[in-house]
Amino acid sequence: MKKWMKFGGRVVAGALLCGSMMFGTAAAEQAPAMDGMEAFREAISMTTKQDRRVFRQDLLFFAPSVRADLDLIGQTLAHKLRIAGNLSLLVIDDQANTADLKIPFYLDQQKKSMTLYFKPDKKWYKFQTPTLAASAIDELATPDEQEADEILSTVKEVTVLRETDSQRTMLVMLNSDALADLVAQYGRKYPADNGTADDVELHNSFMDCLEAGVRRSNIWYTWTIDKNSKRTITMSYNLSSLLQETARVGLERHPEMPQDVAALLETIAYYSDLKTYTTFLNAKAVQKLDLPEEAKEAIAVDDLVGSDPKPVEAKAK
């Protein structure tokens, strides 16, 4: 049962992964309205400094009897990333009982090491994710020529929705097949045995479902840039299609899953909605994000799933 609950959770995680893969460095020279693809190419190709970026992100997930809201604020400092936020959950069971949870969390990434701190009950726990850290480092960097070409290969169409002397807003429609190819490459580059999964079979199955789900999806986002400062102002992703199609693939390929998990995925596949909105703030908005004092004594765990996290066993010296 726990194994399949992990699979359901990774459907949502996969949507977030693809959302992060769509993220590009914002930059553009002041210019009159131009062709959509030309504007997009210009936006991802210009170099911009990434130090001291501050952003606010809100992710909303809706389904019958379930509502999840992920609200966070983060800051990049050279090759460091710090995020603090809350995950709010409202769940209604078959007897109309409600569970309203609020889980604070803190993420600290230093070069190739990333630690997630979270408080699901009265205690703080910490979970190390080295593979995710490596991926985050890549996302923080300005794309080189090869990476820019990869980003462009995932774009099917770009429409300039609004253009002023200082701002440009683009609607970006993605090429699902090209994006799915990048998901497959990511799975090979960051395998399950490299620090992010304790179940290789489940991890590989999930990545296969995610790749197939991406190929079926209609994925788009809007991107507003400041043409003078060469920075992103807002990004808004609609990931509902990606989430639904990945869940459908899981149902089709794994008829052996427990009935309650299948019911969960069926709800996600046909009745869910997932959207995220990111706003980049002035660097002075947050000077630093410090780890809460009580979280410094967090218990190390090797699993994020389950209401009773198991501490990591101490290694013999």
| Residue ranges of domains in the chain | 2-297
The pTM (predicted TM-score) of the whole model is: 0.72
The secondary structure of residue 32, as a DSSP letter, is S
Give the mean model confidence (pLDDT) for residues 104-109.
89
pLDDT at 229 over 70: yes
pLDDT digits 0-9 by tens, 25-72: 443 333 445 688 888 887 776 645 545 678 899 999 999 888 999 999
CA distances from 158 to 107, 155, 169, 282, 287 (A): 33, 7, 10, 27, 35
CA distances from 139 to 99, 132, 134, 142 (A): 35, 11, 9, 8
- Strand arrangement, sheet containing 113-118: 155-163, 167-174, 220-226, 231-238, 273-281, 53-63, 66-77, 80-92, 98-110, 113-118, 125-128, 299-300
pLDDT at 248 over 90: yes
Rounded CA-CA distance 176/67 in Å is 27
Chain mean pLDDT for the chain:
78
Can you tell me which residue has the tokens 């889980």? 103
pLDDT digits 0-9 by tens, 116-164: 899 988 899 998 876 555 555 555 555 667 777 778 888 999 999 999 9
pLDDT band at 226 (very low <50, low <70, confident <90, very high): confident
pLDDT band at 9 (very low <50, low <70, confident <90, very high): very low
